Structure 1
């Protein structure tokens, strides 16, 4: 493995790499999303309410890119670990459609922010439905359009609400959303004086990497420079992992890399 491959493994989804799932269909869908002007406009516009108006962490194009990459890497590791997904299968769809559901939901899960930060998953549903009605006919007949659309909307709804994911595809999107916790995400609100717990705790997270574990299909390793990062790990990531359907497949290890001897927390394992 080259140094560059080591740096991106578990962090960046590479369409041309070998994967543990059929990837041709999802790669075509990802190309269609990248080329769709309306989708890209939403990804930019959806950041105004959370960042500019509420001084909250990034929820725009950069966040979506990170979440989608993490979701695809998480899905790939789970598939390599022999985990069987149920969303596409329950609907009679192909295995190749599992990744499509994950990619579409992770791309469109936050567009409801254009309406309001509060309760945004519920606003995301009708907006995403309209976009899916435009995108899916290129890849599916009418019946499968309905089935894929339903699964994508289910994953969007369950990413940040009390609604419990009923599919592992939805669980992947839910957990991947919390995996965007590195300090760069909170740079803008922090520089503008934001000192809320989400901003401060995110500033404490240095890196998040995913890899195959010894006893679990997925090992999430988090490096933090301050005990404030515990909030991101415990209150956000752990909370989203709970009831995601992935609890028995994912292990989380967080390390405090601070070297001045003032470590309140050195290591957390979940």
Structure 2
């Protein structure tokens, strides 16, 4: 069974697999993040405002784990498809190996602004992440490279918010990956606590999300839903994140309603 045929291909980033990019540096950064007490404290604390206080979908450690995995898998598939990235390439001193580091760091830190407030959280994430990056990047880069990497990571964090347009494909990957965490498990806690907002209800309708190499596109995103309410996640959230991401020409999205009963309102959506 090939790498792209394994059950977790397109869902879980495995540092031990062969990738379409130099992965030694990003794997070292992932190890660093997993053992950094301050980073882990933020990931623990950032769910209080969105989930406990606002009964919104998960934005804690589980969400970050899913987004980072999807982002790195998406990046890998795009690289396999020959897509050229520009975030690191536009800078003197940065290399191809730094592209995945930008993606991994931004995916990890993009939601830490939730410790301040759910509303406008991307803007609160910027100063908090900037302080962390000063320390995290110093282990791998000299001062010139640190400044450039810090700017690229902060750009990707800011642009996961649909109000800001990504100027790099690394930022586009993080933006789209954020919306790919839409499966029903994400809304379990707020749903059980009585949350019935459209984000929570629509998440309950999404069964699985998988990424694979497409025939005509570098990436095929397949979404299985059990209820027409899932259309909100696909059309209003994922489509909104894909628009202006820079990746529109490289990703195809197919959503299927798997419910067997007749009179389905929606059977198939293609974007």
Normalised by the size of structure 2, how large is the TM-score?
0.98
Which residue pairs with 1:222 in the alignment? 223
Q: Tell me the CA shift for residue 262 of structure 1.
A: 3.0
Structure 2 distance, partners of 1:213, 1:6, is 16
**Does the C-alpha gap of structure 1 residues 73 and 128 become closer, same or farther in structure 2, counting only changes over 3 Å?**
same
Q: Tell me the CA shift for residue 260 of structure 1.
A: 1.1
* Count of matched residue positions in the alignment of Structure 1 and Structure 2: 270
Which residue pairs with 2:259 in the alignment? 258
**Does the C-alpha gap of structure 1 residues 231 and 43 become closer, same or farther in structure 2, counting only changes over 3 Å?**
same
Structure 2 distance, partners of 1:147, 1:46, is 27
Structure 2 distance, partners of 1:83, 1:4, is 18
SS of equivalent residue, structure 2 residue 102:
helix
Contact 2:3 2:9 in 1 (8 A): no
Q: Tell me the CA shift for residue 208 of structure 1.
A: 0.1
Q: Tell me the CA shift for residue 5 of structure 1.
A: 6.4
Structure 2 distance, partners of 1:4, 1:74, is 12
**Does the C-alpha gap of structure 1 residues 247 and 3 become closer, same or farther in structure 2, counting only changes over 3 Å?**
closer
Which residue pairs with 1:163 in the alignment? 164
Which residue pairs with 1:80 in the alignment? 80
1:110 is aligned to 2:115: no
Q: Could you report, residue by residue, the CA deviation over 1:147-201 in whole angstroms, capped at 9, with x for unpaired residues? A: 0000000000000141100000000000000000000000000001111000000
Contact 1:121 1:161 in 2 (8 A): no
Which residue pairs with 1:64 in the alignment? 64
Structure 1 distance, partners of 2:267, 2:107, is 32
1:203 is aligned to 2:200: no
Matches for 1:184-203 after TM superposition, within 5 Å: 184-203=185-204
1:143 is aligned to 2:140: no
Contact 1:70 1:179 in 2 (8 A): yes
Q: Tell me the CA shift for residue 3 of structure 1.
A: 10
Structure 2 distance, partners of 1:6, 1:258, is 25
Structure 1 distance, partners of 2:50, 2:81, is 36
1:10 is aligned to 2:25: no
SS of equivalent residue, structure 1 residue 90:
coil
Structure 2 segments unaligned to the other structure (5+ residues): none
Contact 2:162 2:241 in 1 (8 A): no
Deviates more, 1:157-166 or 1:94-103: 157-166
Q: Tell me the CA shift for residue 7 of structure 1.
A: 1.5
Matches for 1:32-51 after TM superposition, within 5 Å: 32-51=32-51
Q: Tell me the CA shift for residue 89 of structure 1.
A: 0.5
